[in-house]
Amino acid sequence: MTDRNLLVGPFNRVEGDLEIRLDVKDGAVAAAYTNSPLFRGFEMMMLGKDPRDALTITPRICGICSISQSAAAAFALADAAGAEMPPQGMLVAALLHAVENMNDHITHFNLFFMPDFARPIYAGEPWHDEAVNRFTATQGSATRAAVAARAELFNIVGLLGGKWPHTLAIQPAGVTKSPSTSDKVRIQTTLRSFRRYLESELLGGKVEDFAAISTKEQLQNWTAGDAGRFLRIGQAVGLDDMGFGPGRFMSFGAYPLPGKRAFKAGVWDGGLKPLDTASITEDLSHAWMIGPDAHPTGGQTMPDEDMRDDAYSWCKAPRLAGQTIETGALARQIVDGHPLALALADHPSAWARVAGRLLEIARTQMLLEDLAAQIDPKERFMGHRDLPKNGEGAGMIEAARGALGHWTRFENGKITGYQIIAPTTWNFGPRDRNGVAGPVEAALVGAPVRDGEETPIAVQHIVRSFDPCMVCTVH
Amino acid sequence: MNILWLQASGCGGCTMSLLCAEKPDLFDTLGGAGIEFLWHPAFSEATGDEARRLLAAVESGKQPLDILCVEGAIARGPRDTGRYQMLSGTGRSMMDWVQSLAPLARHVIAVGSCAAFGGVTTAGGNPSDAVGLQFDGTHEGGILSADFRDPTGLPVINISGCPMHPDWVTETLLMLAGDALTPADLDSYARPRFFADHLVHHGCTKNEFYEYKASARELSEIGCMMEHLGCIGTQAVGDCNIRPWNGSGSCTRGGYPCIACTAPEFEEPRHTFTETPKIAGIPVGLPSDMPKAWFMALASLSKAATPDRIAKNATSDRVAIPPTLRKPKT
């Protein structure tokens, strides 16, 4: 018997539209239902178009991870054409993509996640004044520093890709601009400046030292910077005891480079396992979508205009071998085998999720510097490959929020199938036909609801710990 | 001056672009001019019930509203219900909210091409039956009628672009704060003329190639992209090559053709974005304001006169031949 029902929304400081229905019992969430209340229909828009148009249209699914969408489309077409970027083209594509993912993490931490600790509900806590000073929305000193730092970091994308978001530099056969030596030194200068921001503000210590943390105890002893503030405050409000994911993690592998991916692909389910993407299905039982459950190569998008009562979201429910799975920065670092991430894997709380993101920030800075140093302005950055008239391909990459896949098929030069599964679709999908709740729906069960709370703060912490991107979810 | 910002059917990219404002950053730029967000879905602390109370206060008139910014198109589907986008937690469609709030604001701004004209949200048959605030593509009238005017006589101000440049928004807001924007400062698509009176072609770093019709044939080659790669910078409004994006960029500087993202209906060019449609080898879309015969005559002349340096560089991915140095006088 539930005591009351809450409808949480507009749910802000997430990207896009999110509404959550909660059943509350005995001061805690008993059941949660996530609704992505915006439908645009990008998969339908693509049908009948020239496959190359996917490179222009699909990045516009999302303004916060547009390079991720762009890369997924480019790799899907490359797959269909049997094309491969020249090694230096892969390098620059990875650099562009990693800059966007880095900025997503910085934006999430400072603008989306931390402002909750500055809220009046925490007035009186010993750390509250500090949180107000650093993280008050639009005004906090950390917020301001982060906004300036991310704008400057995006100068790398301005230089290599013209603009952000909706950068179109990544193509199936390479990148559209060949960086010069002067571009290379400017990129390195920008990265050094960003390192100063990370080390003086966010981490409060050397990037390498944070990336070298290998146990939970060492992590808890990191008290410097905003990372230290989060780790302490997060423990104090109990984030390590709430918001547990399914304990299964997936990564498609981030940043394709010659012969490898910078962060590995795979699955964690009590141990590392290879990823079988053929076992992916999208379940439509609780989505306002018509048609059978299917692998994305055979999937379709037909919205249910009647919005039947037994469904409650425009979001499909993806499953891997029939199971829910969590995706994101923590998942990526676990699958890559980082010792700290592995140490956090068996206690996948809201706190662990944000800590995993901080770890990835440190490691991504090192990766970015390494990629920039490897740019060889004398080399070629674009190859050539004509797209066949008929083809089928998949582009599977990692957005900041996790595994992103584009699956396309075209005949006689026209797209006949285009399906996308975004990271947040995995995390925020609704129930499946077995009644199994999606990862976030399950993670919310047990979240404390204080007397009189209409928009429970614990629910907000848990939801934001996943860093959802709702416009991608339902595209 | 306060701003209520709503994200309708779009990608959130205009908010993300806005955060790229530099010198000074976004919050300094606006805060210094006394402009504050009453509520913004990405920036504000208030969420859920607090945000709903704020919306109710604006709707009842208790909370005066200076500027309503809408990012994203307005979904009218399915079947004119607007239920393809419900403003979460409120049980009401975004279409309903915007129609209710727009008349209460001192000014209404459509941020980005989706809110202005429908934009990419309406591509490919427009599955969600989306539309702009006061335009449906090139046609006047969206979910607000063609004769909608704010209390100062301005129509919905269309800061188009996909996304728009952050400065286009901040400068418009600063002008409104100083009562410095009149109907005469908008073009016929209600875009502020301070950016719409320029063409993307202006200041394009490929102009020397353009002069000689020295053309790139494939992406990544540094020649002019008009003849083969679909670039319509000579027809597209925007000061993209005059003021930089993200430090020093623009689409064309990144080696990508201009797709005229500030224009209504850019999302359906009726040809592949990166290919110039031609009839008998002659590009169909020619520069604005230029008679076709003149263009053809000039183009053939300039092609015949193209210096070797420019011709070779045009089809290279970097400068292959540097400019010839003038020999010192003896």
How many C-beta atoms surround the C-beta of residue A61 within 10 A? 30
A179: closest CA of chain B, how far (Å) = 9
- A&B contacts, CB < 8 Å: 266
Q: Which residues of A touch B40 (CB under 8 A)?
A: 12
Q: What is the mean pLDDT of chain B?
A: 96
Which two structure tokens, joined as six digits, stand for A341? 């991430």
Order the strands of the A266-268 sheet from edge to edge: A249-251, A266-268, A272-273
User: How much of chain B exceeds pLDDT 90, in percent?
Assistant: 91
| CA distances to A126, A209, A228, A337, A381 from A213, in Å | 27, 7, 13, 13, 36
A445: closest CA of chain B, how far (Å) = 19
Nearest CA in chain A to B245: A163
Least CB-CB distance to A11: which of B17, B47, B83? B47
Q: Which residues of B touch A168 (CB under 8 A)?
A: 251, 254, 256
Nearest CA in chain A to B250: A162
Is A44 a residue whose pLDDT tops 80?
yes
Which two structure tokens, joined as six digits, stand for A122? 């925490």
Least CB-CB distance to A381: which of B19, B253, B317? B317
Which two structure tokens, joined as six digits, stand for B110? 């459509």
Render pLDDT for A284-312 as a digit per residue (tens, 0 to 9).
999 999 999 999 999 999 999 999 999 99
Is B319 a residue whose pLDDT tops 80?
yes
Contact B205, B258 (CB under 8 A): no
Helical ranges in A279-346 per DSSP H: 329-335, 339-344
Render pLDDT for A169-202 as a digit per residue (tens, 0 to 9).
999 999 999 999 999 999 999 999 999 999 999 9
Specify the pairing of strand B105-111 against strand B157-159: parallel
Confidence class for position B328, pLDDT limits 50, 70, 90: confident
Nearest CA in chain A to B89: A9
Burial zone of A270 (CB within 10 Å; 0-12 exposed, 13-18 middle, 19+ buried):
exposed
Contact A329, A364 (CB under 8 A): no
How many whole angstroms separate alpha carbon A141 and alpha carbon A10? 26
User: Residues with Cβ < 8 Å from B23, sequence gap 6 or more?
Assistant: none
Chain B (273-312) residues lying within 8 Å, Cβ to Cβ, of chain A: 273-275
Nearest CA in chain A to B51: A10
Nearest to A175 by CA among A378, A382, A374: A382
Render pLDDT for B140-158 as a digit per residue (tens, 0 to 9).
999 999 999 999 999 999 9
For chain A, count helices (H), then strands (E).
18, 15
Q: Which residues of B touch A62 (CB under 8 A)?
A: 11-13
Render pLDDT for B10-65 as a digit per residue (tens, 0 to 9).
999 999 999 999 999 999 999 999 999 999 999 999 999 999 999 999 999 999 99
Using only C-alpha atoms, what is the Rg of chain A? 21
Cβ pair B247:A159 closer than 8 A: yes
B208: closest CA of chain A, how far (Å) = 18
How many whole angstroms separate alpha carbon B304 and alpha carbon B321? 19
Contact B291, B297 (CB under 8 A): no
Contact A343, A444 (CB under 8 A): no
Residue A82's region, left for phi above 0, alpha for psi from -120 to 50, else beta, is left
Specify the range with the lowest mean pLDDT, choosing from A20-34, A332-346, B267-281: B267-281
Nearest to A146 by CA among A201, A223, A209, A65: A201
Which two structure tokens, joined as six digits, stand for A195? 């390192």
B156: closest CA of chain A, how far (Å) = 23
Q: Which residues lie across from B4 on neighbouring strands?
A: B39, B68
Confidence class for position A1, pLDDT limits 50, 70, 90: low
B/e letters for A371-403, b = 16+ CB within 10 Å, e = fewer, are bbeebeeeebbbbebebeeebbbbbbbbbbbbb
Residue with tokens 């984030």: A239
Is B81 a residue whose pLDDT tops 90?
yes
Tell me which amino acid residue A244 is: F
Burial zone of B154 (CB within 10 Å; 0-12 exposed, 13-18 middle, 19+ buried):
buried
Q: Which residues of A touch B32 (CB under 8 A)?
A: none
DSSP state for residue A469 in the 8-state scheme: B
The DSSP result for A352-367, as a single string, is HHHHHHHHHHHHHHHH
Widest pairwise Cα distance in chain A = 70
* Residue A231 DSSP SS3: helix
Cα–chain center distance at A243: 17
Least CB-CB distance to A148: which of B25, B50, B163? B25
H/E element, A217 = helix A216-220
Render pLDDT for A131-178 as a digit per residue (tens, 0 to 9).
999 999 999 999 999 999 999 999 999 999 999 999 999 999 999 999
Secondary structure string (H, E, C) spanning chain B:
CEEEEEECECCCHHHHHHCCCCCCCHHHHHHHCCCEEEECCCCCCCCHHHHHHHHHHHHHCCCCEEEEEEECEEECCCCCCCCCEEECCCCEEHHHHHHHHHHHEEEEEEEHHHHHHCHHHHCCCCCCCEECCCEECCEECCCCCCCCCCCCCCCCEEECCCCCCHHHHHHHHHHHHCCCCCHHHECCCCCEHHHHCCECCCCCCCHHHHHCCCECCCCCCCCECCCCCCCCCCCCECCCCCCCECCCECCCCCCCCCCCCCCCCCCCCCCCCCCCCEECCEECCCCCCCCHHHHHHHHHHHHHCCCHHHHHHHCCCCCCCCCCCCCCCC
Least CB-CB distance to A147: which of B25, B49, B79? B25
Nearest to B35 by CA among B187, B189, B172: B172
Render pLDDT for B279-297 as a digit per residue (tens, 0 to 9).
887 888 777 677 888 888 8
Contact A83, A407 (CB under 8 A): no
How many whole angstroms separate alpha carbon A25 and alpha carbon A32? 12
Which two structure tokens, joined as six digits, stand for B146? 């063609």
Residue B54 touches partner A, C-beta closer than 8 Å: no
Residue A247's region, left for phi above 0, alpha for psi from -120 to 50, else beta, is left
Burial zone of B323 (CB within 10 Å; 0-12 exposed, 13-18 middle, 19+ buried):
exposed
Length of chain A: 475
User: Residues with Cβ < 8 Å from B146, sequence gap 6 or more?
Assistant: B134, B140
User: What ranges make up the beta strands (E) of A286-400?
Assistant: 317-320, 391-399
Render pLDDT for B189-241 as a digit per residue (tens, 0 to 9).
999 999 999 999 999 999 999 999 999 999 999 999 999 999 999 999 999 99
B202: closest CA of chain A, how far (Å) = 16
Least CB-CB distance to B256: which of A66, A152, A168? A168
Chain B (5-34) residues lying within 8 Å, Cβ to Cβ, of chain A: 7, 9-17, 19-22, 25-28, 31
**pTM for the whole structure:** 0.98
How many whole angstroms separate alpha carbon A364 and alpha carbon A203? 13
Cβ pair A176:B249 closer than 8 A: no
How large is the average pLDDT for residues A102-120?
98
Q: Which residues lie across from B135 on neighbouring strands?
A: B140
Is the ipTM beyond the 0.85 threshold?
yes
